A and B are shown apart, each in its own frame.
Chain A
Amino acid sequence: MGTNASGIHAGRLSPTDYDRNFADLHPPLDHHEALVAADRCYFCYDAPCMTACPTSIDIPMFIRQISTGNPVGSAKTIFDQNILGGMCARVCPTETLCEQACVRNTAEERPVEIGRLQRYATDTAMDRNIQFYARAARSGARVAVVGAGPAGLACAHRLAMNGHAVVVFDARVKPGGLNEYGIATYKTTDDFAQREVDYVLSIGGIEVRNGQMLGRDFTLGELTDNFDAVFLGMGLAGVNALNVEGEQLPGVEDAVDFIAALRQAEDKADIAIGRRVVVIGGGMTAIDAAVQAKLLGAEEVTICYRRGKEHMNASEFEQDLATSKGVMIRHWLQPRRVIDRDDRVAGIEVEYTEMRDGRLVGTGETGILAADQVFKAIGQTFVPDAVGNLLLEGGRIAIDAEGRTSMPRVWAGGDCVKAGEDLTVTSVAQGRDAADSINRMLASSARPSIAVA
């Protein structure tokens, strides 16, 4: 088929090309590489990397454990703070978190490779299936968790550690949430997301019910009636629309659906891709869609973002990755209409934008980009239909510092809450901390009454 055939087609590349294109973006460090990389850590006092990590992993300690030949102990240091440390090692934008804070940047503009070292340690323990946590004696309490993504899994694991019985409800066929459906294929190969779910669940005491969607299959009221506590971590179900003419045409798709389909595909050759692809948006989702479109054999892939490079939510590293794969990133362009030819996408009309008096406005100057396929990646939204009277903030669930919602015995975390940064690692931190809060509540209510007279 090749990259030059007009229209949207599967199988543009040879099997070897697919394999090469979708191989691990950051191959694992081997033993020697890990030792060399670990040697660069200065074991900083009150380490800035640790402060920068949303889950506060003791990074200097886990790196020191690697360099002293104790990768298993290192993995425990990581998992103590972040049970999904394996996935975070793969998908965290370390360049804006721990590695950005690394003092080696000041010393020689090259941080310690914290992400890859974390992967080395967690892979070592997970490959040997070493379990660090046992379930505490049964507390008798039952907790419902909605959503088996990073927030829900982290919450469920911490609850199970404390002896509570957990039921996790997830709308999708497989657990894992965005780890399973939302991450670029080359960042998590070899079915890692499912292996990690299995690893997390092996603590016991967690029942996962797939295909169970809040508001469709059960209600929040049923959960609060039947469980001692509820954690909501269902993420974002909605996708922002372009709100332009032609958006309904075949060939205009949500980037998140494309990314999910690619992750679920048995064979990458089954995924159809256009010859010319335009991605609208400026975040990680836009980059993931654009890069993978290119890797599937699109001849020309263009990202259109309505603001400047400095405003893009995608990190510098991600932008560089995209351009290195041949993606063209264009700024100050917004979509005006999708152009129709024979009821299919033929192109997209875009308008130049600029900042005027602090507001983004169209300049009136337009142009047309030829395209067979358009991906929308301009943000996802929380769909509040099923959460009833829960207080919202900025369109998402409002929580306090411990993750409590406005409703008694209901906690929330992950992308569905306001405080979220839409990062896996932040979701893990929120799930974990909510579990600790739930545990405190359950422990205090279980305390025997004290005779005062």
Chain B
Amino acid sequence: MADLRNTFVGIKSPNPFWLASAPPTDKAYNVERAFKAGWGGVVWKTLGEEGPPVVNVNGPRYGAIWGADRRLLGLNNIELITDRPLQVNLQEMKQVKMSWPDRALIASIMVPCQEDAWKAILPLVEETGADGIELNFGCPHGMSERGMGSAVGQVPEYIEMVVRWCKQYTRMPVITKLTPNITDIRKPARAAKAGGTDAVSLINTINSITSVNLDTFSPEPSIDGKGSHGGYCGPAVKPIALNMVAEIARDPETYGLPISGIGGVTTWRDAAEFLALGAGNVQVCTAAMTYGFKIVEEMITGLSDWMDAKGHKTLDDITGRAVPNVSDWQYLNLNYVAKARIDQDACIKCGRCHIACEDTSHQAITAMVNGVRHFEVMEDECVGCNLCVNVCPVDNCITMVPLAAGVLDQRTGQPVDPNYANWTTHPNNPMSRQAAE
């Protein structure tokens, strides 16, 4: 049985599955249910400064997009930080941490970009016994209009400044939560590191309008006929999050900085991918909001079973394992040749591979052979693009088969070169020609 115990910036939890700062972690009732269900930790929903709490809209807070059978693929929200009094949250956090000492309890915080504001709240949080704090520099809606959330996360100088204050005024580990609503995720990560952060967590939600009501022409979710962009999350954002995690994990300037991976984690498989790309643990929200807390059982057993099957003993055995394989395009091996192959026994003859290839790609798949409906790859046309694999509805029906070195590539008429060669040295690259001259 694999050991799923997790230590993240010194914070211990029985497994790497934390609930992200969000509605599921807004109060003791929910958090205790989550812990009973088996979650390793929670990031308590973001606390604001003392005083009258923020208010939320009193209409729809969520919008969504769906796949087949209304499977939720993407969710967005316009909910703000906690709308409960600070003292109530602090009291409940303290009580929960006492009842559940083996679980991680992190406080998410968002106060104005003023040293006094951070200096004031940090001791109050520390007093609860929380294991650490997460700086909410991510929320893209509402709070950002007031100079907080992503308004801070989009300015690396502000990130560095606030992180520095936090490291100065608390002994608790500091996790800096990053917004994806920027052009280069490495910049805010570097700033956080420069400020002395213990870790970064990402991604927060993405600016989004999920849909438009075509009767009223209001964006969804609609409040009295108007809509505001909300924060997008759920399975649809996972590829964006994976890339951003990987960018930070492989950036020489932030290499080794602990990362808490967030963004569309729905199954154990998603979690394992985040870990492989360098995350030390993961945070989950939308999956729990879709299916309830029980899903953590599937995540725990799935991750554990996979690790057992592969002989991985601890999380350290998998964390970052895929990072060395993330490369710039220019270093990809241009002498690697793969061809699509269709398993005729598995093929159900829907023809989607053919029409995708014929209409939109390289005209490399037959539709009819000798008057019979038959889908087969024409190797002399196939560039190995993988589109057919992606549109095929049958698992493993079409696979990409690499050509061994020396084998004739029927498309180019050349044998496959056994040597690695990339764009930087390719004769068509003007830069490489210059270098050669």
Contacts and interface: CB of A to CB of B under 8 A. Distances in A.
Interface in B334-370: 348-352, 354-355, 367
Given A39-B69, A107-B393, A48 B352 contact: no
A104 B350 CA distance: 9
A48 B349 contact: yes
A107 B394 CA distance: 8
A36 B69 contact: yes
A45 B354 contact: yes
B77 to A, nearest CB: 24
A385 interface: no
Given A39-B68, A107-B393, A107-B394, A45 B348 contact: no
Contacts of B348: 103-104, 106-107
Contacts of B70: 35
B313 interface: no
Contacts of A44: 349-352
Given A46-B367, A46-B373, A103 B68 contact: no
A36 B71 CA distance: 11
Nearest to B347: A106
Interface residues of B, number: 14
Contacts of A43: 352
Contacts of B349: 44, 48, 103, 106
Contacts of B354: 45
A103 B350 CA distance: 6
A42 interface: yes
A243 B344 CA distance: 53
Interface in B127-186: none
A42 B392 CA distance: 9
Interface string A24-63: 0000000000011001101111111000000000000000
A39 to B, nearest CB: 4
Contacts of A107: 348, 393-394
Contacts of A103: 348-350
Most chain A CB within a 10 A radius of its CB, from B349, B350, B373: B350
A46 B367 CA distance: 9
Nearest to A43: B352
A34 to B, nearest CB: 12
Nearest to B70: A35
B251 to A, nearest CB: 41
A45 B350 CA distance: 6
B356 to A, nearest CB: 9
Nearest to B68: A39
Interface string B216-241: 00000000000000000000000000
Nearest to A108: B348
Contacts of A36: 69
Given A39-B69, A104-B348, A107-B348, A45 B394 contact: no
Interface of A: 35-36, 39-40, 42-48, 103-104, 106-107
Given A35-B70, A39-B68, A43-B352, 10 more contacts: A35-B69, A42-B352, A42-B393, A44-B351, A46-B373, A47-B351, A103-B348, A103-B349, A104-B348, A107-B393
23 contacts: A35-B70, A36-B69, A39-B68, A39-B69, A42-B350, A42-B393, A43-B352, A44-B349, A44-B350, A44-B352, A45-B350, A45-B354, A45-B355, A45-B367, A46-B351, A46-B367, A46-B373, A47-B351, A48-B373, A103-B348, A106-B348, A106-B349, A107-B393
